[in-house]
Chains A and B, each alone.
Chain A
Amino acid sequence: MAEVRITGLHKRYGAFHAVRGIDLHIPDGEFTVLVGPSGCGKSTLLRTIAGLEESSQGTIEIGGEVVNDFRPRDRDVAMVFQDYALYPHMSVAKNIGFGLKARKMPKPEVEVRVAEAARMLGITPLLGRFPRQLSGGQRQRVAIGRAIVRNPLIFLFDEPLSNLDAQLRDEMRGEIKRLHQDIATTMIYVTHDQIEAMTLADRIVLMRDGLIEQQGAPLELFEHPASTFVAGFLGSPRMSFLPGNLALDGSAAAIRLADALLPLAPGRGLKGVADGQQVLLGLRPEHLTRAHTATPEQGTFRYEATIDLLQPTGSRSYATFRLAGAPVMAELQAHDVSRPGEKLAIDINMNRASIFDATTERAI
């Protein structure tokens, strides 16, 4: 158990600047997910924490100790790899016990701890098998067993679920979450999958081009994205962005799209804005519903939409229509709309809408 503190971290590969100044504090016992598109530096950051890459600049502290010059083995971290990285020439029991053996633990104790880890993960019957005789999910369990058996200060996960099929991925995701609840060790988890990030994390660190774009609790990032990048990355289906202008009239504010004026709630704190400023209005599909009342409720804007694309998922239907020339997606009840081309009154909840500056793409 330990906290991790990263200060001013840079990593360069020749001319390529992969990590461009990261400051990050991960409290003891927290489940932190590093998420971002491929090439954003999240795996490099994780590997630098593990000691598999050397940092070009900055410090990494684990449990209050600067570990920059420590070999991976001396950092007391455990890592689960995307391709599992099991040793093919060793049995499952040997795989799990390898780290303990390498650290010269007496054999009887290794056996006890391997048995305990196997029991926790439900892989006791597999101990005598070899990795090639296991399914993907079983391999991943062994890889996790190899990590937990060492009882390390922190766990590092490098996209551990991306080689599994969808169903198994959901299952293993739950198991990893449960594992964290049971052992409460600091975990740092890298993924490009925003659902994994949302479901697993105590805290999400969203990275872009080697920098942290935003960090915080999953719902905080989801509901108050700092930029269009964060807003677009989290949430599926994606947030729709509509270009418009701010219309300020005394204390009343609204957003003017091409042919519509969408009023904003009076209490909304808009700071440092100007009348006519170009903005992007961010609407999540779940902020749009089919109108059920005679007049729109306070803070909602009603729009007569012509649905031009319909994607039913069973429980919900995603309907796309055009608002001021831009496509917008609404998450409707399954039977709210039956076919494309249908005209429908849609209520847009402006209280939950996000507003971004059109040039900086930062939230206003």
Chain B
Amino acid sequence: MAAVAPARRRKRRSLPIGRILLLGFFLVFVLWPLYWMFNTSIKPSDDYLTVPPVWFPAAPTLVHYEAALFTYRGLDGLINSLIISLSATVLSALIGTLMAYSLARYNTGGRHLSFWVLSQRFLPPIGIVLPVFLIYRGVGLYDTHIGLILAYTVFTLPVSVWMMFAYFRGMPKSMEEAALVDGCTRWEAFWRVAVPLAAPGIVAAAVFAFIACWTEFFFALILTSRTAFTLPTVFRAFIGFQGAQYGEAAALAIVSLVPSIALGVLAQRHLVRGLTLGAVRG
């Protein structure tokens, strides 16, 4: 043992060159576009496409942010996106959890309902966007927050339900049964035992739903106009007759990253456990 230990220590001290190179390459691969986007967002317009490129602007500027947020109404889009994505996420997580629990524990709808729920995702969105547009215009949901919240809730539900369904399925029934015998009603056993245990799954499903809503472009483009438009639709404006507004696009892209990153950091602890879909329990 004593003879082995120093050898092991020596081995640990030598640097794993291969691993560092690999990680370094990966890091550059991931971060380079982000760096370039940030770089572009603070460059004066003249520096966009120079050869050789400007690696870091001599005089950083915030004019693109100002233009993107106010002139092009990026701030309104950001606020709309936050309202719509968060509302749809909460609704999707809430309804999805209830649906998934019902499917997993009561076998609601027999063998087919759970698959039918998922099968809603097989339909190409373009196939339903026109009918939805016509219906929305007819009932006054066109270009409203509620309209897009409803649409996004419906679109994200199948995946939320399916993720939660797998999670509840993987959870032993006996804990809820113990709660029932202990003195809980069905609802209390769900709320006080099943939901806390499924929290990682709920968080993971919610993060997925949020990302899907946050980046959705197609339905936002068709179903909104000047009131409920979301952040992704604002980017259309940066490609115009006289070329592209690279700085403004980059600035708005940076802004749009902030909520996603914040959410990722907040949910990280739950996310990894949630993505294993109930395989790992604490």
Chain A contacts for B184, CB-based, 8 A: 73, 102
Name the one of A72, A87, A146, A156 contacting B180, with C-beta atoms under 8 angstroms.
A72
B197 at the interface (CB under 8 A from A): yes
Q: Which listed segment binds A: B1-9, B74-82, B145-153, B170-178?
A: B170-178
Tell me if A78 counts as interface (CB < 8 A to partner B): yes
Contact B175 A78 (CB under 8 A): no
Whether the Cβ atoms of B175 and A85 lie closer than 8 Å is: yes
For B125, list chain A residues within 8 Å (CB): none
Nearest CB on A from B85, distance (A): 28
A71 and B185 contact, Cβ closer than 8 Å, known pairs A52-B177, A81-B174, A88-B282 = yes
Nearest-CB residue, chain B, relative to A158: B174
Q: How far is the CB of B6 from chain A (nearest CB, A)?
A: 35
Q: Are B181 and A78 in contact (CB under 8 A)?
A: yes
Whether A102 contacts B178 by the Cβ 8 Å rule is no
Q: Mark B185-199, 1 if CB is under 8 A from A, else 0.
A: 100100011001100
A79 near B181: Cβ-Cβ < 8 Å? yes
Residues of B within 8 A of A89 (CB): 196-197
Residues of A144-160 contacting chain B, CB below 8 A: 146, 150, 156
Q: How far is the CB of B98 from chain A (nearest CB, A)?
A: 20
Contacts of B281 in A (CB 8 A): 88
Complex: A86 Cα to B193 Cα, angstroms: 10
Q: Pick the contact of A102: B175, B177, B188, B282 (CB < 8 A).
A: B188
CB <8 Å contact, A81 and B183: no
Q: Which A-B residue pairs are the 4 nearest by beta carbons?
A: A99-B182, A102-B183, A85-B174, A85-B178
Contact of B179 among A100, A102, A156 (CB under 8 A): A102
A-B contact pairs, 6 of them (CB 8 A): A50-B177, A73-B184, A83-B172, A85-B175, A87-B175, A99-B183
In the complex the two chains form, is A73's CB within 8 Å of B185's CB?
A: yes
Flag A100-140 by CB within 8 Å of B: 1 or 0 each: 10110000000000000000000000000000100000000
The minimal Cβ–Cβ distance linking A140 to chain B, given in whole angstroms, is 13
Docked-complex contact B182 and A150, CB < 8 angstroms: yes
With A73-B183, A88-B281, A102-B188 already in contact, the answer to whether A79 and B196 are too (CB < 8 A) is: no
In the complex, chain B residues whose CB is within 8 Å of the CB of A132: 282
Is A328 part of the contact surface with B, judged by Cβ < 8 Å? no
Bound CA span A146–B174, Å: 14
Number of B interface residues in the complex (CB < 8 A): 19
User: When the two chains form their complex, are residues A102 and B182 in contact, meaning their CB atoms are under 8 A apart?
Assistant: yes
Q: How distant is the Cα of A115 from the Cα of B181 in the complex, in angstroms? A: 21
In the assembled complex, the Cα of A100 lies from the Cα of B177 at a distance in Å of 16
Q: Mark A41-75, 1 if CB is under 8 A from B, else 0.
A: 00000000011100000000000000000011100
| A234 at the B interface (CB under 8 A) | no
Query: Is A242 in the interface zone, CB < 8 Å from B?
Result: no
Taken together as a complex, chains A and B put the C-alpha atoms of A120 and B193 apart, in Å, by 26
Q: Is A98 positioned at the interface, with any CB of B under 8 Å from its CB?
A: yes
Once the chains are docked, how many angstroms separate the CA of A103 from the CA of B197? 21
- Quick check: A81 and B179 within 8 Å, CB to CB? no
In the docked arrangement, what's the CA distance between A193 and B259, Å? 57
B199 nearest CB neighbor, chain A only: A89
Return chain B residues, CB-CB under 8 Å to A281.
none
Would you call B197 and A79 a contact (CB within 8 A)?
Answer: no
Contact A52 B181 (CB under 8 A): yes
Residues of chain B contacted by A73 (CB below 8 angstroms): 180-185
Q: Is the CB of A71 within 8 A of B182?
A: no
Interface positions, chain B 205-230, Cβ under 8 Å from A, are none
Q: Does A197 contact B (CB under 8 A)?
A: no
Question: In the bound complex, how far is the Cα of B175 from the Cα of A150, in angstroms?
Answer: 17
Task: Name the distance in Å between B170's Cβ and chain A's nearest Cβ.
Answer: 13
Residues of B within 8 A of A2 (CB): none
CB distance from B263 to the nearest CB of A (A): 23
Question: A77 contacts the other chain (Cβ, under 8 Å)?
Answer: yes
* Selected contact of B178 from candidates A51, A71, A79, A103, CB within 8 Å: A79
When chains A and B are docked, how far (Å) is the Cα of A7 from the Cα of B178?
25
Known pairs A83-B174, A146-B182 / 12 extra A-B pairs, C-beta < 8 Å = A52-B177, A73-B182, A73-B184, A77-B181, A82-B174, A85-B172, A86-B175, A87-B193, A89-B196, A102-B182, A103-B183, A150-B183
Residues of A within 8 A of B179 (CB): 87, 98, 102
